[in-house]
Amino acid sequence: MTQADRALAFAALHQARTPLVLYNCWDAGSGGAIARGGAPALATGSWSVAAAQGYADGEALPLETLLQIATRITESCDVPVSLDFEGGYAVDPDALRKNIAGVLAAGIIGINFEDRVVQGTGLHDIDTQSARITAIRAEADAHSVPLYINARTDLFLQSDPSEHGQHIEAAITRGTAYAEAGASGFFIPGLSDQKMISTICTAISLPVNAMCLDVSADLAAFAGTGVARISFGPAPYRAAMKALTQQAERLYV
């Protein structure tokens, strides 16, 4: 299967109310374990990938290292792989295109791409972020790969849950703009209120990705909101490291 075919197959897995469930990995070993468990696709989580290498989240992990990890996952796991690419390790669209070329060379067929100002404050304005998404789409098109661009907004992660209702319309505006710019999906991490998630799913044309941090949660309830994708962010890594620590404590404590 070609990289383009993998990208198309990955996109087809996003179905509202019967969502793609992605139990996020952080390296080739974890990706292989999840794939052997029956996952039809893999997705990394930036926090977990960085932590596994001793770095903080927020593009502290060197880009070269990230791409090496991505390559090892795609070369050792026979399922489509999406990369959490944070803010793309660049703000300028031309520099961003160069970085996306590296992502594609690693065999990746999808990315998470966020609108927060990485290593800064706040969010990029809609026009700036839309131009960045358009640049990514142009680079992917130049390589004939229908890259799945999961456009993430950090509106909810950067606000208190009590304020989330105030940001729904802003999220819808961003999701609509990102769709027009060439995004494939819309990611709303930090929002857990199912009625609010449902409102967003109804209002925008893109498949919506919700994040669940409870690995034992009732996914059927999330599916009922209309989301097409459920991911777990850093939760799998934290669960795995907790289990490892507990095993070690039995030996050493």
pLDDT computed for residue 86 by the predictor:
98
Q: Which tokens hold the place of 37?
A: 């468990």
Exposure string over 52-68, b if 16+ CB within 10 A, otherwise e: beebebebebeeeebbe
pLDDT computed for residue 56 by the predictor:
97
Domain ranges of the chain: 3-252
Per-residue pLDDT reduced to its tens digit, 1-21: 899 999 999 999 999 999 999
Per-residue pLDDT reduced to its tens digit, 113-141: 999 999 999 999 999 999 999 999 999 99
Q: What are residue 99's phi and psi, to 5 degrees?
A: -70, -35
Per-residue pLDDT of the chain (253 residues; tens, 9 = 90+): 899 999 999 999 999 999 999 999 999 999 999 999 999 999 999 999 999 999 999 999 999 999 999 999 999 999 999 999 999 999 999 999 999 999 999 999 999 999 999 999 999 999 999 999 999 999 999 999 999 999 999 999 999 999 999 999 999 999 999 999 999 999 999 999 999 999 999 999 999 999 999 888 889 988 999 999 999 999 999 999 999 999 999 999 8
pLDDT computed for residue 1 by the predictor:
87
pLDDT computed for residue 216 by the predictor:
83
Rounded to a whole number of angstroms, the distance between the first and last alpha carbons of the chain is: 49
Q: Which tokens hold the place of 215?
A: 């690995």
Measured CA distances, 5 to 12, 57, 84, 148 (Å): 11, 31, 20, 12
d(CA 111, CA 241): 25
In CATH, what is the architecture of 3-252?
A: Alpha-Beta Barrel (3.20)
pLDDT computed for residue 253 by the predictor:
84
| 212: nearest Cα among 196, 195, 188 | 188
Q: DSSP state, 109?
A: -
| 81: nearest Cα among 41, 34, 131 | 41
